[in-house]
Structures are given as structure tokens and as C-alpha cells.
Chains A and B, each alone.
Chain A
């Protein structure tokens, strides 16, 4: 009996993660609901003046997407760590780098992708210019992928700790900041009539870097966490 190819295995892993996510549809809905609720907080806190809200909309939407992503990051490996699936994964002859990517991809598909897809609704509610919405979606697609990869590092580092939730935020929020800067700037650029492509290109570059390096860090961190 020979071990399956890396692609076949990571495909199975991805499928398993998605099946697990889809069997708890509420967990998929929670970040979206969170997004919707926090959007409401801003008019309540800042006042309902449409012009003010519209001018802050790119930043508001991006910050909420970032926080929603942050809240889901903690769960990435926790279940599999607690029931022992993770140590089995570490013992399997499959390359950890690819397996980790499958984990992150599955998580991104049910958080970042969905957040990006529903964001136009909230953009309209905050009065963001219609022309900026495609760029908002594009920036969220690229940016949340980076956030998921970076968040995975924090999740892997804290998965063995009981008090992971707050700690993970402290660890990875600094690393989220560049994504926030360029993500919201991309949307802002369209609003003020400038091209957004450079910002999106930089987000793309960050994604490439994160794809190359984050799985290494996640893998190393998982081995440490399982060891501890």
C-alpha cells in the first residue's frame, strides 16, 4: 500500500475541512453576522451623517473584515489539536507545508471569501461610492487571504494554550497592519479618483510572500505546540 500523492492528500484534507465547516453552518454564518453587527456600531458611535460615514467607509469596512478574520483565526487548529487529529497529521508522511495550506485555504473559503462577497451590501449601507465596490471586493479577496495565512501563525503558536483567544490578537494584530493600510488605501484611492491597481499589486505581493513563508512558520509552530 503506497502513500497517496501530496495533491490527492491535500485535496482530501481540504474536503474534510469543508465538510466539517458545512456541518456547522452556524459557524460559517457567525463572522458574517459579526460583520453586520459591527457595521451598525459605527453609525451609532459616529453619528448617522451620510457624508461622514461614506468618507470613513473604506477604513471601517476593512477594520471590521480584519476583526472578523481575527476572531475566526483561533479556531483554525484548535479542534484538531484537542482531539488528537493534529498529532496524527504531524506523523503522516505528507509534507506539512501543503497540509497547512489546505487548512488555511479551507478556512479562507468559509471566512474571507464570504466576507468579500457580502461586503458590497455593507458598503452600500455605509454609503461607499458604487465605483469603489469592485475594488473593495478585490482588496478583501487578496487581503483576507494574507490575514488568514498570518492568522494561522498565531493560531498555531497558541493552539496548545488554554487562553489563546486574547493572546492570538496581541500576537498577530501588528502583522495585520500593513494589510489594513494597503487594503483600505486601495478603496480610498478609487473614492478619490486615483488608480487602485498599485495597492492591489502590493496586496498581491504580500499574498505571495505570505504563501511562501507563512506555512513554514505555521508548520514549525504546530510542531512546537504539539510537543509542549
Chain B
């Protein structure tokens, strides 16, 4: 059995705490005084128009942006961040890519890796050089990390991009499962989730209206 979030550490209290976040880009204020906590079981969607600062917010939460914003972020649990880039090396096979992606967090057997790839629909593609795969398949290699991750907090930037309809449904189920098991997900997406689970909305443009 692949540790599909079930191995997530059940942390007491919030997994992440954002206090008074504010961001300015090119003299334009994208958001200000954004305070929220991400608790276990949260499924939070950040929404906003293009350029509203969704990606920037996620990068701040992940700790990739360390300058140029006001406020503070307290990260209380290991997190997994998937950004715009798939981080898939064209010269490596999906199996090698995934093995590398998760190598910082733990040791996994080849069976676990192959099973995770199968879960995202890449069965039979394990050894194909990644440059022969499509953008959606690259994305799937990346998403396969979710099946192996032990991090309770997932920060996903547009995870549905380039994913087909079946894939979207599976991914939604995975996210809900993760939240139900005591994990938490913060994601950006233009489309609304069709899940039977409480989705907390964080609207960036609305946050600025007086």
C-alpha cells in the first residue's frame, strides 16, 4: 500500500499561520493584511484574477519568497509545494524523475514509485524518456509525488493545468482524502472544485475591497 497521505503526521493546531501578509508589485498593492491559519482538514482554494498574486502568495507561504512582502508566515509542519514548473527532466524517465523528486523526503522502493506512477495513469511509461511525454504527463509525474508524500500540508499552484477530465476528478478525490485524513491543502485554481467537501475560499481581489 502506497502511503497516500495516510502516513501524514497528524499535527495538533494549525499547520501554517499567516499574519498580516501584504504584497506590492511594481507600485501596485496586490493584497494586504492577509491573516489566516491553515488547520488540519482544511481544503483552501485561493482565487483571483490573473495577476492577483495567487502564485506569489503560494510562494510566500512555501518560503520561496523571502523578501519584498510584509507580514510573517509560520510553518508548523513539513509541506509539499508544486509550482508552475513540472521539475521534470527531459533526459530522465518518469521513474527517475519521481525517485529524485521524493528523494529529499524519504526512501521509497521501486514498487512504491511505480505504483504512484500507475495511480496517475503513467503505467507503462515508467522507462520512457520524459522528453517523449506530453505536458500533461509531465504534470502527472509531478502530481505522483502526492501519493508518496508524508507532508501534511500541500501547497499546489494550478494543479489542474494540462490535466484531462478524469485526472481532475481523481486529483480532487485525492485532495479531499488528504484533508479528511488530517492533512491540509492550499491550492490556486481558476476552476471551482466539484467536491462534496467544505472548501474554504480565499479571494485575493475581494480582500482588498474596502
Give me the interface of A with B, judged by CB distance under 8 Å.
1-4, 8-9, 12-13, 16, 19-20, 23-24, 79, 82-85, 87-94, 223-224, 226-227
Contact = CB atoms under 8 A, between A and B. Distances in A.
Interface of B: 3, 7, 62-68, 78-79, 81, 83-89, 91-92, 96, 100-101, 103-108, 150
B153 to A, nearest CB: 12
Contact of B105 (A3, A20, A82): A3
A223 B62 CA distance: 13
Contacts of B88: 83
Given A19-B92, A83-B86, A91-B64, 16 more contacts: A1-B3, A1-B105, A3-B104, A9-B104, A16-B92, A16-B96, A84-B85, A84-B87, A85-B87, A85-B89, A87-B85, A88-B101, A91-B79, A93-B105, A227-B65, A227-B68
B92 A20 contact: yes
Contact of B104 (A79, A83, A93): A93
Contacts of A4: 103-104, 106-107
Would you call the interface of chain B mostly helix, strand, loop, or mixed?
A: loop
23 contacts: A1-B7, A1-B105, A2-B106, A4-B104, A4-B106, A8-B107, A13-B103, A19-B96, A20-B91, A20-B92, A24-B91, A83-B88, A85-B87, A85-B89, A87-B64, A87-B83, A88-B104, A90-B64, A91-B79, A92-B104, A223-B66, A227-B64, A227-B68
Contact of B150 (A1, A8, A23, A92): A1
A88 B87 contact: yes
Contacts of B92: 16, 19-20, 23
